[in-house]
Amino acid sequence: MVFQILNKLKWNGRLGECIVTMIHRGAPGDVKEISGGDITAIKKSYFSYQINGRETSIPLHRVTEIKAGGETAWKRNIRKE
């Protein structure tokens, strides 16, 4: 589902206005947000982004939320035990 949402935003010209929240080990709280404008590639199982000349690939299963235009476009359903 994440692949489809990001791809749709890309082809609608709205990728640059989205915010992607993901699990990122080492970041404060192990959570990181990036602008969709930093995304350089979207593949079936991962996406790549570039910040300050450094390219990073993130598996799509680490994405927890995608916001576009200030609204939630997708959010991972987290099970509570």
**Does residue 50 belong to any structural domain of this protein?**
yes
Residue 4 tokens, joined = 């489809």
Q: Rounded to two decimals, what is the model's pTM?
A: 0.90
Q: Domain count of the chain?
A: 1
Asked whether 65 and 72 are in contact (CB, 8 A), the reply is yes
What's the CATH code of the domain at 31?
2.30.30
Q: What is the pLDDT of residues 33-65, one digit of tens each?
A: 999 999 999 999 999 999 999 999 999 999 999
Taking residues 18-42, what's their average pLDDT? 95
What Å distances lie between residue 56 and 14, 30, 50, CA to CA? Answer: 21, 16, 6
Residue 58 tokens, joined = 């993130």
Asked whether 56 and 49 are in contact (CB, 8 A), the reply is yes
Residue 25 tokens, joined = 């080990």
**Does residue 81 belong to any structural domain of this protein?**
no
Spatial strand order of the sheet with 31-35 comes to 31-35, 18-23, 63-68, 71-75
Question: Residue 6: which domain range?
Answer: 2-75
pLDDT at 78: 72
Question: Using the 8-state DSSP alphabet, how is residue 25 labeled?
Answer: T
